[in-house]
Structures are given as C-alpha cells and as structure tokens.
C-alpha cells in the first residue's frame, strides 16, 4: 500500500511512499517484553525467519528492546498512524495458524482519533492494544529488504521494509495531519 506524502514533509514532499517513519521510544520499550510474555508470543519464530547476516539497522542497543521486535512494532505503529490499518489480532486468536495477517477493524473504535493520539504521543500502541484486547502481528510481518539512502542525498536514512499478506482489503484512513 502506498500513499502520497504531505507537502509539509522535509523529504520528498508530495511523493508516493510506503507508510513508515522513525522508531519511537515506545517501539523500543522493554515493557513490550512483559506484553509478549504475558500473551505467549513465540519470539523464536520471528528470529528464525530473518536473514542470517543483519544490516546495521538491526544493531542491538543496550537497555532497549531487541531490534528484531522494535522494527516490527514501528512498522505496525506507522502503518496505523499513516493509513489507519491496524495489523493486530484479537488476543483470543493468538496461536491460530493462517497464511494471512489479521487486521483489526471495529465500529466501536474511532480510528482517526487513535491515529492522532498515537502520532502525537498522547497514547502508545501498547495502550491501544490493551484497550481493545489486541496483540501486534509480529509473527506475520516478514522482513523483505533494507535500503540505505545514497550518499549524494542531503538526508540519509536506513530503512527496513516488511511484507504482510492480508486476505481482504482493509478500510484505509489516511492520516489527516
């Protein structure tokens, strides 16, 4: 899924892009470990599916959540913030095997309001998941590639791309800010 970047962005304004952005402090929070353990998410499966030699973006930083997880959490959060697509499953569906990733949609959830709250750091993705009894689909996000901006660009970024498969098209709520 691509979307058009805002004219206010500092990098490639008005261009078509994939959802994404920077890792937030909440994406790297060690609190996610308690969350994963509480919901019995099998972290070994995530590590098995990734490439053997890791690019720099995966370098471990002491005192923070392992990058294998924080990059996926950031991808889920950014997809939610920018497109309103929530790549999370109800807690009751953990462990159900499917070739597709789930997404959350509910008439009881004001997606644009939560997009705004999470984007502006008034709430966290973890709080959202707790409120709606959801778990991020970390095991359904597959590492695809890592790109590094060429040296001749004024800003440089290293970006991890992930792929998910959905069995239906989710409703999209483009970010309003």
Summarize pLDDT for 94-124 with one digit per residue, the tens.
666 677 788 998 889 999 999 999 999 999 9
Q: Compute the half-sphere exposure of residue 13: CA atoms within 13 Å on the CB side of its CA.
A: 4
Q: Which among 161, 15, 168, 14 is positioned nearest to 79, based on CA atoms?
A: 161
Looking at mean pLDDT, say which of 55-64, 65-74, 125-134 comes out highest: 125-134
| Burial letters 52-80, b for 16+ CB under 10 A, else e | eeeeeebeeeeeebbbbbbbbbbbbbbbb
H or E, element range at 146? strand 142-148
pLDDT digits (tens, 9 = 90+) for 135-156: 998 888 888 889 888 999 888 8
Q: Round to whole Å and give the CA distance between 11 and 15.
A: 9
Average pLDDT taken over every residue of the chain: 82
How much of the chain, in percent, has pLDDT values that exceed 90?
33
Q: Residue 15 pLDDT more than 90?
A: no
């Amino acid at each position: 899924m691509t979307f058009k970047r805002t004219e206010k962005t500092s990098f490639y304004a008005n261009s078509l892009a994939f959802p994404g952005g920077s890792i937030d402090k909440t994406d790297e929070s060690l609190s996610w470990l308690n969350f994963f353990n509480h919901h019995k998410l099998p972290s070994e499966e995530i590590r098995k599916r990734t490439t053997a030699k890791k690019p720099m973006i995966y370098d471990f930083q002491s005192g923070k959540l392992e990058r294998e997880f924080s990059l996926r959490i950031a991808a889920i959060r950014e997809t939610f913030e920018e497109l309103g697509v929530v790549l999370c499953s109800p807690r009751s569906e953990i462990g159900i095997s499917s070739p597709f990733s789930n997404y959350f949609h509910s008439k009881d959830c004001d997606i644009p309001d939560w997009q705004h709250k999470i984007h502006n750091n008034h709430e966290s993705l973890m709080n959202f998941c707790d409120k709606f009894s959801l778990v991020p689909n970390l095991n359904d996000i597959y590492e695809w590639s890592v790109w590094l901006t060429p040296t001749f660009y004024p800003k440089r970024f290293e970006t991890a791309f992930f792929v998910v498969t959905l069995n239906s098209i989710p409703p999209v709520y483009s970010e309003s800010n």
